[in-house]
Structures are given as C-alpha cells and as structure tokens.
Structure 1
C-alpha cells in the first residue's frame, strides 16, 4: 500500500478545479461571439424561434440565476474572486440598476419572463449592501422574472456584517440557505489573510440565521493558509462542529498570485504549509467531520444527512457548476454582474471585469460579455464524464453517447492511478475509491482532452493538493 506522503509527492501537480469543462484557459475565444452565445442560450432552453420562446411542451424551462456583488470594505488576501474594495456605499444603487438592466436584456433574448428555480448571491461581499437595497434588487428581479414552484435561494454572508435585518429580509423573499465564510479561527492566520473574525461573530450569525427561518446554514473553512498549522485546523474544525452547520466546504487554499496580482503577495511561499502538511491538515479535518456525522459530498464538501445536498447525492441529482455543488439542476444558468459566468450547457459566456466597461456596455444596450466558448460534440461528452466524476465519483461508457475515440488513451493514463488504489476500472465503468476521493481532480485530468493536447507552458492552475 502506497503511503500518503508518496501519493502527495506524486499527485500534487497544477490542475483545474473543474467548475466547468472546458476550463476557462481552454475556451476558444476566436470562434466565440455574442450572437453565437445567444443562439446557444436558446438551444439550452429549447427555444426555437418559431415557438415564440416556449418549449415544444409549452412549458417554460426553469433557470438558475447567479448575481455577483463585487464590493468589499476590506481586501481578504486569500480571495481569488473579482472584487472592488471601497467603503463608499453610494455604489450600491447604481450597480443594482445595472444588474436589473442586464436581466431585462436576457429576458429579451429568451422571449418570455424567466422562471427562476435557483438564485444565488455571491461576491465580493453581498452583505456589503444594505438589507433595504438588496430587497429592492430582489423585488426588481421578480418584476422581470417569475419564481418556480420549488426554489433554492441562497446567499454568501460575511459573519461580521450579516445583520438580523439582512436575514429576515432574505427569508421573507424565499431564501432558506446561507453560507458564511469562516476560513480559520487562529488570530495569526486571520491577520495574514486580513480577515479578523472571532468565533462569537460566526456563532451569532449562525444562530440568527436559524432563528429567522434558514433551514441550511453552511460554513466555508480553508486548509493550507499562510502560518496555519495542524493544531489550527483541529481548533477550527472543533469550533465548527460545535455549531453543526448543515454544510461545510473544507477546501484547499489556492495560491495563484501570478493570476490574482498583489492581493496574494502579502506573504511569501515559505509561510505556506508544505504539500505534505496540507494533506495532513485535510485528512485530520476530514476524519473529525466524518466522526461528527458529516458525509463527504463531492470534492471538498461535507453535509449532514438532513441537508438537501446529501439527499440530492443519494438520489443522483447533485450538480456542479460555477456556483459550486447544488442540490438541483437547471440546464441554463445566467450570471449577472462583474466577471459573472453564464452557462447554457452548450456554451459559456463571462462578463467584463471592470465597472467602467460593465456600465458602458449596458448604457449602449450591449450584453457585457468579454469572452466565452461554444462547446463542440466532443466537449459535451467529456463534460459529462467530468461532471460524473466530480459529483458521483464514478463514470461509465456503456452507452454509445458516452464513448469517445480517445477513451483507450485516457484509460491507459488512468492505469497508474488504479495501481495506486485511487480508482477501480471495470469493463465499461470507472469508480473512485475512498482513498481516491481526495485526488478526484487528478482522476479528471486524463479525461480533459484539451489539457492533454496542449499542456500549459506557464502556470495556469493552483496545485491539486
């Protein structure tokens, strides 16, 4: 049996997180246009022009809506998201009006009022916005769109500034899930990542959410942070278990200063745990969570058996997209706001990343899209395999539409992972072992034909471990 240290040294390589396939660096921008994106959106919604914007059955398809709220009062140096640091809250209302205009533009493309099944507010810091302004945003959305019969509405909250007014407002507008960014409770680590946040704040925010009607409270915690030790992770997980959030994202810090600029250069490489230390941090944290009653859901995610995410996994309905793991799936996700990514299943489109460009394009009645990718037939097959692995830890090629010509090449590459007991390959099926779950990104990479054909010459991705 191979040791953990051996496996870490062997498989700790740069690799994608697979919130999409193809991954963003491999999007074919030359063949992408706003018009091709619009056509892929109609295709994803099964909206042929001669049907008046309806499916053949006459029913409106449900969509997911992701809204990116980029403003933060302080820079958290671990963060890789698109954000704008400001203490000027006068930016709130103009941004909300821009979001609503963008949604109206998509409504014009679709040809009818969208039916929203999933709605997620991310950032940045969504709770930078006042409860009053956020409610104006939600009211504005449902003047343009309709709410599906069964919905999954959620937002990302900062424990330091999520107020009872925020929670009450969200809950009366259909929100039942909140995710709080916790990261780590050690003060030295918090200072390094510029996220000072005592346990009492997280405890208060968690209890307030439950008392105002939220049925799913999630915590994000990170291992591999600067100055973080094994004892820090144990302490953070112990405190997390004390509050028993319904879901936990326990994920590896992605150190990519060559992509994210100076924000991640506030500390040096020598302040980061080694790959072996990171793996140990993860394994001990995972062991504690499993012992406390959590179940591993996909990559880096854990949930209680009472949570909808666990139930979705058991039913085979769990999905993964740019919003992470979700307990329900729509074929189309529309992203609004700076850097937001939309997904029609047949194509991706990402918005511009500066406020100036975003506002200017909307003023000119132009979708604020900066780049994208239209998937070809091969992409669609590979995308399904990678989704199967990321969501269900298995995939198969029993059906003709699951087969692709390079499969024998991919299976040959996977033999080494099988030899290390990370996967089991059967005649027409691949299963990820319990040990292999921590290496699922490495399992996906041989399937990633675009990555295999064109290995990056410079750093594009964070390390897999």
Structure 2
C-alpha cells in the first residue's frame, strides 16, 4: 500500500501507551489508597536491590505554551515555590515511612511545567530534602527538563552539584512564525549558550524536544530548525507528533485545525526530520526518539534493555516508580496511582497528612500480560506468546500484516521498517480494554 493510503487508514485516535491500561480505562471500583500502599510495599520488598525511580512534577510556568498538554499552573508569583516544595517533601516522607528501610534511588527526574521556574536555591532545598536518608545507586540517572530562555548557569551548577548529569531542553521549533502561534520563544543562540555552559559544567547527556505538526509549521521552517539542532549536536532527540486535544487543553484553542499541517503534509514533516537526523548520525530508537551511538539510550535499545514508563523512554528499569507532586502518576508494576490534578486539592491532602492519591488501577493477570506485549512492541519491536496468538489478536493483526507493518511467524510478531512509524496502531491490536469499550467521546490524539 502507498504511504498516502497508509496514512489515511491509520491516522486514527490512538493512545501513546506510556502505560497499559491507559488512564481512561483504569478501574476505580477496585482501587483504594490502602490497596495502593500494599502494592507499593509488596513490590519494594521483592525488588529492593534494584532501586526505585522518582518523578517530581513541578507545575509552574510564567507563561502558557499553547501547544502544551502537561498539567501546569501559570503564574509570575514565585512565592509559591517553597510551600509547594515543602508539600512534595512531606509526600516523600510519607513514602519513606511506608517503605520501612533506606530506599536506593536509581532514577530521578524533574518534569513540569517548568522546573527552571524555581530558583536554584529552592531546587537545592528540594533535592537535598529528597536525598536525605536515602542511598543513591552508583549508576543512577538524574535528569531535569528546562526552558532554554530561563535556565541560568546557577541552575546548571546547583543541579549538577546535586548529581544531575542529564538535561532536557524544550525546543519544539525555532521558526518565529511557529513560536508566535505556540507562545514559546527561545533562539538558537540561547540554546547554544545553555548547552555550552552545561557541557563545561559536566553534563554528559543533553536531550532536545522537538515537535512536528505544530501550527504554521512547514517543511522549510522545520528543516532550518533541524539543521540548527544538528549543528548543536545534542546526545538524544525526542521528535514528537503534536497532539491536538483542545477539548482537554483549552490553550490549544488559540489556533484552529486549519492552522495545522495534517495528513500527508504532517507526515512529510516527520519523514524529512527523521531522514535529516539519521543522515547526521542519529539512530532511530523506539517511537519518536533518536540518539547518537555514544548515548546510553541507544545502548539500551541495542542491548534490548530499553524501557518505557510514564516518563517516556528510559535506559533504566525499576519495578517501582513513585511520582511526587500534583498530577504525578506512580507505578508499582501491579498497580497505578495518580495524585490530584489541581494544586489546591493536592495541598489539601498533604496538609491533612494523607497520601495524596486520588485515583488508580490494580492490574489483573490479563492486564499484566498485555502490558508486557505492549512494552515489547514499544521497546524491542517484537513480542511473542508462549502458546498460540489469541484468535482476537490474530484478527486485529491481519490488516497490519496485509499492509506490511508487521510480520508474524508462528507465535512471534515483529515490526517491519514501515511499521516503526505506526507503533501506536500496532499496540492497539493488543489493547483488550479499548476493544471492549470503544470511547464515546474524544480521548486520544491522532496516531500520526
């Protein structure tokens, strides 16, 4: 089938599969904070030696990037910093008490929002509080997200001194027309300056986030952005498809679908960017990610150790991921839990000395089996069944086989080179909850 026909056929609403089941299909009826605590304690006891992952959500931004799908709070009032940090530290203390022994930190990531909204001295208070009374694994990975326009040398030096070696810069696009539409501004010069400082200080892995499919974006402008990115040579690049979900994110109503490249036009942006990055020496890793061969993300992919969780792709794999802060999602492998999405509700629970868990899901044996298949597809581009592939799955895979997106040999399913651009569609074939209850309202962004 021609590429244009494949795009038309498979450009359907699809989950990004940072988890299975996906959040809209969690079952709150069987979940409770008490069961979540039990799941955390059980998995920690079974896998204590491997360490745990921590994600800390820092939601504040000084201005709204209209494309953004994250949970944010827009303010210029920096007096919010310390009360929020104290709440996060109180939540972490609750988890430390539940774990009952000194946790070993394998992975720590600051996301947002804009972590560099916070003053360096306040980030120091946060991280020193998190690391008090814990062990840090010798091969731990500490990383943070940053806005190039407000990341100072003091931010970089403070966090590097605390163990951070990985930096992720939100670029999206350097085209001035696009930046006006999405209300996010940074120049190549600003990014180059931040990178130079980070390298001199000792950061050994720098990631850029780029997005294709943004309003007013075109081949010419995006190619200039990617040329500039290649010149800067970050270690890894996340090249995401823009998710247009104005029913969830009102900020995206700043523009309309008429402003967006769509269908074959949008896919052409991706194909062009991918071609340029691979020609420049980047390797295609997982879905939407590219890495130099010297980067650990590539190494993990080559060694079949790549993992995917609520933070995206990672070269670390722990069974327990604890999310701290408003809207953060935690994963104990057999259960998921999410904190309240509003800062006020989150602080109310903390002030009442309650673990701030608002909703969650306990995974059944079937959930766990499907989760592993989806992880295999997303991270290793193949999966296999111990027995025959279930009949329902075979039926759903049939059109994917016909369109040469996958190959099936006995009990094994492999992604083809063409199929790498349609991983979300392939994963849908395994998603029993999605097929059992088709959404009646818009839940997911388009797959391409």
Q: For the residues of structure 2 that align with 1:269 and 1:435, how far apart are their CA atoms?
A: 27
Q: For the residues of structure 2 that align with 1:28 and 1:156, how far apart are their CA atoms?
A: 31
Matched residue, 1:4: 3
Q: For the residues of structure 2 that align with 1:259 and 1:366, how far apart are their CA atoms?
A: 28
Matched residue, 2:328: 340
Alpha-carbon distance, 1:149 to partner = 2.1
| 1:205 paired residue among 187, 194, 200 | 194
| 2:272 paired residue among 253, 261, 284 | 284
| 1:122 paired residue among 107, 111, 120 | 111
SS in structure 2 of the partner of residue 45 of structure 1? helix
SS in structure 2 of the partner of residue 76 of structure 1? coil
Alpha-carbon distance, 1:61 to partner = 4.3
| 1:216 paired residue among 199, 205, 211 | 205
Q: Is the 8 A contact 1:341 1:350 kept in 2?
A: yes
Task: Indicate whether 1:395 and 2:383 are aligned.
Answer: yes
Task: Indicate whether 1:416 and 2:415 are aligned.
Answer: no
Q: Is the 8 A contact 1:16 1:23 kept in 2?
A: yes
SS in structure 1 of the partner of residue 248 of structure 2? helix
| 2:67 paired residue among 62, 74, 78 | 78
Matched residue, 1:385: 373
Matched residue, 1:52: none
Alpha-carbon distance, 1:46 to partner = 2.9
Detail structure 1 runs of 4+ shifted over 3 Å in the superposition. none
How many pairs does the alignment contain? Answer: 448
Normalised to the residue count of structure 2, the TM-score between the two structures is: 0.98
Give CA deviations for 1:383-420 in whole Å, capped at 9, x if unaligned: 000000001111111x36xx77xx22111211111111
Give CA deviations for 1:147-192 in whole Å, capped at 9, x if unaligned: 1222011000110011111111111111111110000011110010
Q: For the residues of structure 2 that align with 1:356 and 1:268, how far apart are their CA atoms?
A: 31
Matched residue, 2:124: 135
Matched residue, 1:451: 434
Alpha-carbon distance, 1:13 to partner = 0.1
Once the two structures are overlaid, the 10-residue window that deviates more, 322-331 or 108-117, is: 108-117
Task: Indicate whether 1:264 and 2:252 are aligned.
Answer: yes
Q: Is the 8 A contact 1:104 1:144 kept in 2?
A: no
Q: For the residues of structure 2 that align with 1:76 and 1:211, how far apart are their CA atoms?
A: 30
What does residue range 19-418 of structure 1 map to in structure 2 within 5 Å?
A: 19-46=18-45, 60-260=49-249, 262-397=250-385, 399=386, 407-418=390-401
Q: For the residues of structure 1 that align with 2:271 and 2:338, how far apart are their CA atoms?
A: 35
Stretches of structure 1 that go unaligned for 5 or more consecutive residues are 48-54
Stretches of structure 2 that go unaligned for 5 or more consecutive residues are none
Matched residue, 1:438: 421
Q: For the residues of structure 2 that align with 1:60 and 1:109, how far apart are their CA atoms?
A: 17
Normalised to the residue count of structure 1, the TM-score between the two structures is: 0.95
RMSD (Å) for aligned C-alpha atoms: 1.1
Matched residue, 1:463: 446
SS in structure 1 of the partner of residue 63 of structure 2? coil
Q: For the residues of structure 2 that align with 1:144 and 1:372, how far apart are their CA atoms?
A: 28
Q: For the residues of structure 2 that align with 1:185 and 1:61, how far apart are their CA atoms?
A: 40
Alpha-carbon distance, 1:259 to partner = 1.3
Q: Is the 8 A contact 1:12 1:275 kept in 2?
A: yes
Matched residue, 1:50: none
